[in-house]
Amino acid sequence: MDLITQAPRGTEDVLPADSYKWQYVEQTALAVAQDFGYREIRTPVFEHTPLFLRSVGETTDVVQKEMYTFEDKGGRSITLRPEGTAGAARALLEHGLHNGALPLKAAYITSCYRYEKSQKGRLREFHQFGVECFGAAAPQADAEVITLAHTLLQTLDVKGVTLRINSIGCPTCRAKYHEALKSYFEAQVDDLCETCRDRLSRNPMRILDCKVPSCGAIAEKAPVMLDFLCDDCHNHFEAVKETLTEAGIDYVIDPHIVRGLDYYTRTVFEFVSDEGLTVCGGGRYDGLIEELGGPHLPSLGFGLGLERLLMIMEDRHARFPEPPKCELYLASMGEKAARRCFAIAAKLREGGVAVETDLVGRGLKAQMKYADKLGARYTIVVGDSELENGQAQLKDMQTGETEDILLDDSLYTTLYNKSLDRQLAGMADLFSNVAE
């Protein structure tokens, strides 16, 4: 196929027939975040490359293999964002938001870019819903961020997903763990991939996140961080667990979770599907703001992949609201009637009623076929006699029932009320299903 008419590998179009599902998930995500006090932030699609080198980590797969980096016309190294946290942290510092009331809670829906092998649920351009909580050190903050993700998945009726948590400690206790890891992996260095051999001396924890099967098998038997936690990190993790238990949120302790980015400390977590897909992942990053040149500011957050979430929702037959449909199709006979239908449509649209009318000069029969394809709930045919009488018949396309209706402002009131009643009934049905 000609490259002009083929999307780049690892990207997907969201077509009009499916976009309502994305809108529903995105709007629900931002609404749930708002209930927790998180307000939306929007950052650029690209940043200066050093931002990601310092935050994500030079030994991570993201930096070593996956970033889209290029030189702009000014000779600056620029990178398309591979994740959302670094840009949000940069914005915090640039605009001095850390000098205001803390914690600062931010949420976003963003596109991200990673050059990796395309497969089901993993694209090179993908989208995330994320939250960041800057300036909160208490374990209750960890529990709140986890609870936010849990609440969103429940609200969207997502089943078959398990919360997995771990602690990867702080720089103090992690130093001893690194020594234990290094000793373990050095004994099997010949069986490690070339990348992991390089990681062994620079950051042995990154070996735990290697996707090469042979390295993964070796990592399964490696020492676990939970056995090396200092008292402060141990007590923090215990408090997180107790808070989640008190809130009635089930979890599984998974000592193999390390996450793929270097900025994480202490609590890390993932929501994993029954098929083993990570839908949401996050944790605490107490040293990130300091690493970027700011003050010590304990912080945490998560990123939730929207493509994977939607895929799982569809596989689980989760409930979506009905896609928006045409409420009324105005069929016209003759130029004068066409102009009148256009004026009526404009008036109704101003009031929020979804209306369609002929734009291509179809005959009446063809217009009615088109209205049927649109799924129009009601139709009105307007011709000379209807214009003369100022009255037409409103036909319910589902029941076949008709009623006489005036072609004046009362038409708007009638249709708006009919549309609103159905919308409210549909939303009530959707949320009653979630409650069950």
The residue count for the chain: 436
What residues are paired with 88 via a beta bridge? Answer: none
Q: Tell me where in the chain the CATH 3.40.50.800 domain(s) lie.
A: 328-435
Q: Tell me where in the chain the CATH 3.30.930.10 domain(s) lie.
A: 3-170+230-315
- What's the order of all strands across the beta sheet hosting 39-40? 39-40, 104-113, 125-134, 299-305, 278-284, 265-273, 161-167, 252-253
- Which stretch of 101-110, 244-253, 270-279, 298-307 has the lowest confidence by average pLDDT? 270-279
In percent, the amount of the chain with pLDDT more than 90 equals 63
Tokens describing residue 145 = 């961020």
The domain over range 3-170+230-315 is classified in CATH as 3.30.930.10: yes
| pLDDT for position 58 | 66
pLDDT higher than 70, residue 355:
yes
Q: Is 383 in a helix, a strand, or coil?
A: coil
170-198 pLDDT, tens digit each: 989 988 888 898 899 889 888 888 888 88
Query: Which is it for strands 161-167 and 278-284: parallel, antiparallel or unpaired?
Result: unpaired
364-413 pLDDT, tens digit each: 999 999 999 999 999 999 999 999 998 999 999 989 999 898 888 788 77
- Which stretch of 181-185, 204-208, 281-285 has the lowest confidence by average pLDDT? 204-208
| pLDDT for position 422 | 58
Q: Are 147 and 251 in contact (CB under 8 A)?
A: no
**CATH among 3.20.20.70, 3.40.50.620, 3.30.428.10, 3.40.50.800 for 328-435:** 3.40.50.800
What residues are paired with 112 via a beta bridge? Answer: 126
pLDDT band at 342 (very low <50, low <70, confident <90, very high): very high
Reported pTM:
0.87
pLDDT higher than 80, residue 435:
no
Phi, psi of 298 (to 5 degrees): -55, 130
pLDDT higher than 70, residue 419:
no
